[in-house]
Structure 1
């Protein structure tokens, strides 16, 4: 049966967005994953980036469903005449670094930070991420899902065996050893929170090879959905307990596919990813910074960057803005997201040569940039920034239809009407709304100095609420009041 990727999306309910294809594991059958991969490769063929006999790199995270999905993707590669190169279970940026270096397409089977009952596939072109402009090209591809490959449940009838692992870890480790220099962390005592992150051993190895004394913490054989943008209360407690007991200089970790960093200071307090991004941008000497509209406003307030570009949320939007800055001649272009994922757009000097661009989320560079800085502590570096504190939380469950209803109300009318709606909903605790930004969701600035930003999730039934204030207590209180106001409005 011949169909299109767009028709397959509608049939299976597995959405395609800024992070690739994501959905419930039960919906991501072998047939669906095969179809998405086939559509991706047909689009790559149109773009001159794939041809019969060409290699396609694959890797995955540690979710129970990942090996099965990888096998279905590998079958699609073979059936389209390609050669699957299995890179093992490694961080997404390690896969990207290898594939970009080889000039070949790649895909990563991961659901990132979302729970294990869901999974996904991230697609990469031969030199960078699949961008929003590419989605239409992938969606219209015709794919053959017949041929007796699948049973009635959409699973492969004949098992697909993945090829032997091609090592990509060594190059990834060497990138950071060469950039920061051997011994860069000598004298540091670092905790490595491993949980179920695919890069848990690679991260520990890098930190140790840079000279730090390390202690491994919290390793789990069960998948743990660590979200660096909405840190779990239990992880807040763990960070503080570990710091008090072991007297670390810092604790480091990542999300599930290890492209988003998580670092705690010497007290065990986890840093916000958008603040970590500012510190890293300063350390590498960035002249232009691209970051989503949800990120902390200290990036502008610090006055250290020639140009700050605000984008919609999602790495494809950040990358597009970075490309524009590079084309405009900016000397050192970087990007980062509120989740901490850092994107390097320019070549920068390192201790043992130059470090090449890696225009996809990376967790290691920003954490090491902070750990190797001259300041006496992580908290001391934070103290140098304007004190604007961000906080985020979620309303779960919050189905897509509820998001559509909420944003329909909040965006009705002209600017004055939208400001009045924000004041009506949040004014009793935030003050009068002064401006509304609809770049991505609804973000309002208030007379009291606070910021409230609401956004529906593209891959889960939840509503994100980002808040910003002059102190952590203010940001947390604002978030709590804002989510309560939304629940009351929606009758939840």
Structure 2
């Protein structure tokens, strides 16, 4: 049976079942196509490849490398890595990269995140569709040999220590007050990167942090819980451990450790929007201290972060730039505006000084620095950044997302005074002093027959009313 790549080559990456969809033949074809579409186009002599702890990753890496080298391009294998570790290698070496991971998906999945040199994203609009179509042609015809071109060579290189030292150079934690930090790696790649960056495993000096490790054993079968901290059920163990051990902070990483989630000393989750606003404030202050005018500093945030994010950025005199959800949009707008930082409510955090790429570890270091520089507990440190009440993302299965959105628009758009379509449908009703009394955003999933609803309001009762009204409309449409 012929494999249809369009079934699992998504908007931003490859994500499929192993071996039914993603297997060694598919990886081989994708490697050849990636070499042709990206590496050769960019004039790159090599591609850097990393992988997570999933059992299927090593053989898929080998197959991808064979496809790449068959097109005369070298492959540099960095072995086990977090996704931001792969981005580091791509940026530091100036090479395109491929990271094998299915992030937080269950064990039966694997995937590939591709990037151009300097960790620049590869999505449907920036080469992934072309890679998919060329790989499909290779699969349908049978991937040929290197056709007389000198075959590339496979090299191995360890970049973990360099990655750790680079991050340590961006955020100095050496002067923090002593902190007890509980970390839930979810049996994912945080189990490798936390000891290297926050500990001494990579040969760096010790920090004033006592790390309390949870599920640091690399195990792609996820024996303890899914490595998806966005689901509250997967934070329960961390919350209990923070409370029972008297930790100052709890940090959870997803499977490939490119996202981090934070709970305070009470075990209460800290909103990713609050983390975005806090890091934005730190980065703005750092730029101003270096001599930049606040108005020259741009911060990117996506369409569903809290309204507090652009407010706090503007209050610091900097420029908030609103963009669509998704790393390719955030990275593109950061590059266009030379933004120092970007944040999404999904807990992806992007840094200019990290090639505009997202890194959960660097975000975690900023939170630790903010806490370590204060005598207050984390709940008090973060309180100024939590201004509104949010519903969280609510998914509804629909047969026709566009038609249902139009029903919602017809029924609810006139209830607000501002309507925009940057990313789905956003309706806002301003309150006092221009602050939102409420807003909601309704946008379709890129990959599933779902509509995603986010609601935020000045108080719990208003949020619940708007949420329930819009959900009723969606489910009656």
Q: Calculate the TM-score normalised by the size of structure 1.
A: 0.79
Structure 1 residue aligned with 2:406: 411
Contact 1:90–1:199 at 8 Å: present in 2 too?
A: no
Instruction: Give the alignment of 1:379-458 within 5 angstroms.
Output: 379-385=379-385, 387-395=387-395, 398=397, 402=398, 405-411=400-406, 419-422=409-412, 432-446=415-429, 449-458=437-446
Contact 1:190–1:251 at 8 Å: present in 2 too?
A: yes
Structure 1 residue aligned with 2:149: none
Instruction: Give the alignment of 1:227-246 within 5 angstroms.
Output: 227-228=228-229, 231-246=230-245
Q: Distance in 1 between matches of 2:389 and 2:32?
A: 44
- How far residue 173 of structure 1 moved from its aligned partner, in angstroms, is 1.1
Secondary structure of 1:450's counterpart equals: strand
Secondary structure of 2:198's counterpart equals: helix
Q: Distance in 1 between matches of 2:211 and 2:40?
A: 48
- How far residue 463 of structure 1 moved from its aligned partner, in angstroms, is 4.0
Q: Distance in 2 between matches of 1:200 and 1:464?
A: 32
Contact 2:39–2:47 at 8 Å: present in 1 too?
A: no
- How far residue 107 of structure 1 moved from its aligned partner, in angstroms, is 0.3
The one of 361, 366, 383 equivalent to 2:363 is 366
Structure 2 residue aligned with 1:310: 322
Structure 2 residue aligned with 1:291: 301
The one of 166, 175, 181 equivalent to 2:172 is 181
Structure 2 residue aligned with 1:47: 41
Compared CA separation, residues 194 and 48, structure 1 to 2 (3 A)? closer
Structure 2 residue aligned with 1:225: 226
Q: Distance in 2 between matches of 1:308 and 1:64?
A: 42
Structure 2 residue aligned with 1:278: 277
Contact 2:301–2:309 at 8 Å: present in 1 too?
A: no
Gaps of 5+ in 2: 145-152, 200-205, 288-296, 432-436
Structure 2 residue aligned with 1:124: 115
Structure 1 residue aligned with 2:347: 340
Secondary structure of 1:455's counterpart equals: strand
- How far residue 377 of structure 1 moved from its aligned partner, in angstroms, is 2.5
Structure 2 residue aligned with 1:264: 263
Contact 1:250–1:378 at 8 Å: present in 2 too?
A: yes
- How far residue 125 of structure 1 moved from its aligned partner, in angstroms, is 0.5
Compared CA separation, residues 419 and 465, structure 1 to 2 (3 A)? closer
The one of 423, 448, 458 equivalent to 1:470 is 458
Compare the two structures and name the one with the higher helix fraction. Answer: 2
- How far residue 440 of structure 1 moved from its aligned partner, in angstroms, is 1.9
- How far residue 481 of structure 1 moved from its aligned partner, in angstroms, is 6.3
Structure 1 residue aligned with 2:64: 73
Q: Distance in 2 between matches of 1:296 and 1:276?
A: 11
Structure 1 residue aligned with 2:50: 59
Compared CA separation, residues 46 and 168, structure 1 to 2 (3 A)? closer
Q: Calculate the TM-score normalised by the size of structure 2.
A: 0.81
- How far residue 279 of structure 1 moved from its aligned partner, in angstroms, is 0.8
Which sits farther off after the overlay, 366-375 or 86-95? 366-375
Compared CA separation, residues 436 and 342, structure 1 to 2 (3 A)? same
Indicate the RMSD between aligned Cα atoms, in angstroms: 3.0
Q: Distance in 1 between matches of 2:58 and 2:467?
A: 39
Structure 2 residue aligned with 1:36: 30
The one of 299, 311, 314 equivalent to 1:301 is 311
Q: Distance in 2 between matches of 1:190 and 1:271?
A: 15
Compared CA separation, residues 379 and 9, structure 1 to 2 (3 A)? farther
Q: Distance in 1 between matches of 2:228 and 2:451?
A: 14
Contact 2:173–2:368 at 8 Å: present in 1 too?
A: no
- How far residue 234 of structure 1 moved from its aligned partner, in angstroms, is 2.3
